[in-house]
Structure 1
Amino acid sequence: MIDWNYILSQIATVAFDILYFGAIIGTIVIIILDNRNPVKTMAWILILLFLPIVGLVFYFFFGRSQRRERIIGQKSYDRLLKKPMAEYLAQDCSEVQYEYSRLIQLFQHTNQAFPFEGNRVAVYTEGYTKLQSLLRELQKAKQHIHMEYYIFEDDAIGRLVRDVLIEKASQGVEVRVIYDDVGCWHVPNRFFEEMRNAGIEVRSFLKVRFPLFTSKVNYRNHRKIVVIDGCVGFVGGMNLAERYMRGFSWGIWRDTHIMLKGKAVHGLQTAFLLDWYFVDRTLITASRYFPKIDSCGSSLVQIVTSEPIGPWKEIMQGLTVAITNAKKYFYMQTPYFLPTEQILAAMQTAALSGVDIRLMLPERADNRITHLGSRSYLADVMQAGVKVYFYKKGFLHSKLMVSDDLLSTVGSTNVDFRSFEHNFEVNAFIYDVNTALEMKEIFLQDQRESTQIFLKNWVKRSWRQKAAESIIRLLAPLL
């Protein structure tokens, strides 16, 4: 007698095996044909081979590439850039441009980032002064406020800013807000509804909901941008949350943010309006959003953005050029250090050629996994002569870099794969002696609150510590 139950179970088992291994093999083929960075390709293949179920789930959620898509059509983009380009072409050529002509041209070619002269830069290194300045400028708004944050927390700080925005909206000021859906995942919807009910236009960036969850969760808007009346802007590393003011029980929150006044605000405005088009499909190009601005300072500034959509990794490429071009020194602060091969090689090459390369990381971080991965790269850079410092006073979230008493940059970009390849980021690149000297002094002050790490001691870490760091490093391209 034929046991049909047994036969059907065997057929089901074979069919499952075919689908299971077919999915794994098919995913591996897709990854290979995508022509990604070989390091990232091998990381995904290893996960799929040794942890196939976990690997399939992670690839489904986090692995698929979106770089062939476009945010906006070329004609619409040209319309958006018309006014900033006219302002750029009308200004005098600045002598500073020639000091970093390759870097400036790179950003113009890959990012349409115009270098604007005559800007004033104010630097903030702790949350209270940045918040005070932000609230003061918001209160002055007459026409519009554009605000974009990765985290807009429903706490005392978030509610304070929200109430100011509601007040300005009641006065007839146009207010637009973009928040990242993942960064604000746990923020109750009523927080944003109160703003909407007051006439504020609020949009979430790449809302993550099933069944669309898988195509969006990996690409987050990490930018922090505020534009007020088209002539005052804020950009940097600080979100809107209490912890940026109060820090942790074990230390302060050390960060860097800047306020810009001058034509460079056109760059922040362009970045915001491009993101607004992305979330609202409304193209805003009216000239009142790009008012004529007189020179008010000495800084030449480029606002540079990067995103996972498009052919280039603009900020990573720019930092590679900046490190390579450094003649005397290049100092960098970053909370996470999971560098791409290009950045790692640039740092090593510059240090080996005699440039004073210094890297500052937090001694204790808010994410243990990425902190372990960061530590795995330190021997590589110290062997080349890079000086490494651990900031001891609290959590160092600053993304500040300065070079040769002329170039400095502040923004949202961390030195890691996620910022360079997956996130929507923004940095201000500033070509100015006075600003660079101020940034340098900030770094050196933080250095006095830090401990230098020496290679001869670093290699004596326990084998368990080294093993944990090395394992996490295998996943660095995916973190």
Structure 2
Amino acid sequence: MSASSIPVRIACLAGLLAVLSACATLRTDVPRPVSNALPPTVQSPLAREAQRQAQAHPGQSGFRVLSGNTDALMSRIVLADHAARSIDLQYYIFADDATGRLLAQRLLAAADRGVRVRLLLDDLDVIEQDPLLDALDAHPNIEVRLFNPFRVRNRSLWSKALQFTVDGARLNRRMHNKSFTVDNLFTVVGGRNIGDAYFDAGNEIHFRDLDVLAIGPIVEQTSDVFDRYWNSDAAFPVTAYDVHHATARNLSRTRTTLQGAAREFAESDYAQAMLDALPDGSSADRSGRWDWGAARVVADDPAKVEPGEKRRALLLTHDLRAMLDAATTNVQIVSPYFIPGRNGVEYLHTLAARGVKVSVLTNSLAATDEAAVHAGYARYRRALLAGGVELYELRPLGGAPPIEAHGTSSGISLHAKTLVVDAREVFVGSMNMDPRSRLLNTEMGVIVDSPALARRIMQFFDSATQPENAFKVELVPRAGQSAARAPMRWSARYDGRTVEFDHDPETSAARRARVALMRLLPIESLL
């Protein structure tokens, strides 16, 4: 930053604070006591079975794939209900909707019986949740912290816009991590946030997503990552703002509200359909098979949110690059937001050139919830195909029933983030293959050496890329025409009949035109 720009920024900040003087500001001197994960405790049949399984596989971790959205929700509820000592949650989004309130009610019930609950949320999308978070934090066994928070606690769009204008270099960097750890014995890691859209409970958008439920040494590693973020300089108690905070009376009212919301949810058609679909319980409380393998957690340093921290920005990227470097036969990539950049395109070309089959599943323009990101991806689509990369784009499946069929979601937009190399090594986590995940957001996930787990993730890929579920994108060169200039073709199956398109299918001309204009904008580094 130049010396001349400092007074301007200070003046802008002073003006901002004057405008928002009636609003609460962040107290950076607020006490932030260090706390760490509690030792594992075995006080329930569920915990004893997990410990027995882990002891039978020394040095390995066990995994179950949560590809079904209802299964993913019920697994979290079951874990919270069985918690005996601690629950640690780290999320980008924790919505104040039906499933968010249901989980909040189960967390409050756990705290009432003496369980310590730590909830760490990224502050970007905390808007309506403030009263709920304040009330939960008033419980003696619950602590809520916000990661990389806004300096002024005014949740209006104009306030956020003003703060981004002054402090955008910092606020543009967000915590995208996702984990749910109970008693230091169980953890859920993957792509889902907490909210109706991630569990097929909403009325608007549904995501096809994927998590893994894990036991064994990987759980302690996940707890270590949580502790690093919880105790970092970027994490502040929700009480760090100069406002009137929730009291025991607020907590009592919230308890009553959440109990009512839980009863309403239990009586809903969704809950009944969920029970009908899960006659043998959720993946969290079944005694069935685990997929075992050597595993490790990979995560960015929380200091990545500090502007200029480029070295830390590459921590997780380096681990995934090492996976890809070792590929010899095949690579399957699932990323809802896929912007490889020129270097990424060249790298995937080198993999394909040495005989590695590279297949990518991402969102179609019709399915994506981020048209600007699709514009960034579309810029490289033809080059990827010309270099031998297989491309599949998820079809929108709006109007399908809200309960899974064959282990996949009825959602209209892809949200899972996975990587499988040589049908053996697996990554499941929060990281998209785009510049924002690589350079701006913090991310985390697990890397597992397990052919059995790899097969299950590949089954998810194979199901999602069937012609009924995805468009296959190909180049169709004409006589004498190079592949780089060949037109693209999308194909899918409708009612048993293959249908081909010469443009992004199931989209309007206006939407395609807007994306074409977005491709001209120099915004790729922000996507």
TM-score by length of 1: 0.69
How far apart, CA to CA, are the structure 1 residues paired with 2:105 and 2:201?
23
How far apart, CA to CA, are the structure 2 residues paired with 1:158 and 1:464?
37
How far apart, CA to CA, are the structure 1 residues paired with 2:187 and 2:350?
36
Q: How does 1:18-417 map to 2 (within 5 A)?
A: 117-184=59-126, 186-199=127-140, 200-210=142-152, 213-246=167-200, 252-278=206-232, 279=234, 298-307=292-301, 308=304, 310=309, 311-312=311-312, 313-363=314-364, 364-392=367-395, 393=397, 394-417=412-435
Partner of 1:117, secondary structure, is coil
8 Å contact kept, 1:117–1:264: no
1:367, distance to aligned residue in structure 2 (A): 1.1
How far apart, CA to CA, are the structure 2 residues paired with 1:172 and 1:188?
24
How far apart, CA to CA, are the structure 2 residues paired with 1:237 and 1:431?
19
Partner of 1:454, secondary structure, is strand
Higher helix share: 1
Of 264-273 and 331-340, the range deviating more from structure 2: 331-340
Aligned to 1:468: 517
Of 348-357 and 456-465, the range deviating more from structure 2: 456-465
1:80, distance to aligned residue in structure 2 (A): 8.2
Q: Deviations over 1:102-144 (max 9, x none)?
A: xxxxxxxxxxxxxx93211011113211110111111111111
8 Å contact kept, 1:235–1:428: yes
How far apart, CA to CA, are the structure 1 residues paired with 2:138 and 2:130?
12
Q: Deviations over 1:393-443 (max 9, x none)?
A: 320111011121111111000000111111111011111110011111111
Partner of 2:519, secondary structure, is helix
8 Å contact kept, 2:371–2:515: no
How far apart, CA to CA, are the structure 1 residues paired with 2:514 and 2:151?
38
8 Å contact kept, 2:299–2:316: yes
How far apart, CA to CA, are the structure 2 residues paired with 1:410 and 1:268?
13
* Structure-2 change in CA distance of 1:465 and 1:175 (3 Å): closer
1:164, distance to aligned residue in structure 2 (A): 0.7
Aligned to 2:474: 454
1:470, distance to aligned residue in structure 2 (A): 3.3
1:187, distance to aligned residue in structure 2 (A): 2.5
Partner of 2:362, secondary structure, is strand
1:250, distance to aligned residue in structure 2 (A): 7.7
* Structure-2 change in CA distance of 1:252 and 1:163 (3 Å): closer
How far apart, CA to CA, are the structure 2 residues paired with 1:194 and 1:281?
16
Aligned to 2:438: 420
Give the residue type in structure 2 aligned to 1:431: D
* Structure-2 change in CA distance of 1:451 and 1:348 (3 Å): same
8 Å contact kept, 2:473–2:488: yes
Structure 1, unmatched stretches of 5+, are 1-19, 28-76, 85-115, 283-295
Q: Deviations over 1:68-123 (max 9, x none)?
A: xxxxxxxxx9x989x99xxxxxxxxxxxxxxxxxxxxxxxxxxxxxxx93211011
Of 194-203 and 425-434, the range deviating more from structure 2: 194-203
Partner of 1:359, secondary structure, is strand
How far apart, CA to CA, are the structure 2 residues paired with 1:247 and 1:355?
39
How far apart, CA to CA, are the structure 2 residues paired with 1:315 and 1:276?
19
Aligned to 1:433: 451
8 Å contact kept, 2:95–2:129: no
Q: Deviations over 1:158-186 (max 9, x none)?
A: 111111111111111111000111032x2
Structure 2, unmatched stretches of 5+, are 10-33, 41-57, 153-162, 238-289, 398-411, 477-486, 490-501, 504-508
1:251, distance to aligned residue in structure 2 (A): 6.8
How far apart, CA to CA, are the structure 2 residues paired with 1:248 and 1:458?
35
How far apart, CA to CA, are the structure 1 residues paired with 2:419 and 2:108?
36
How far apart, CA to CA, are the structure 2 residues paired with 1:454 and 1:250?
31
* Structure-2 change in CA distance of 1:436 and 1:152 (3 Å): same
Partner of 1:477, secondary structure, is helix
How far apart, CA to CA, are the structure 2 residues paired with 1:316 and 1:339?
12
8 Å contact kept, 1:122–1:259: yes
* Structure-2 change in CA distance of 1:297 and 1:251 (3 Å): closer
8 Å contact kept, 2:417–2:429: yes
How far apart, CA to CA, are the structure 1 residues paired with 2:518 and 2:353?
25
How far apart, CA to CA, are the structure 2 residues paired with 1:384 and 1:471?
23
1:213, distance to aligned residue in structure 2 (A): 4.2
* Structure-2 change in CA distance of 1:384 and 1:269 (3 Å): same
Aligned to 1:53: none
8 Å contact kept, 2:149–2:236: no
Partner of 2:88, secondary structure, is strand
State the aligned residue count.
362
8 Å contact kept, 1:327–1:404: yes
TM-score by length of 2: 0.63
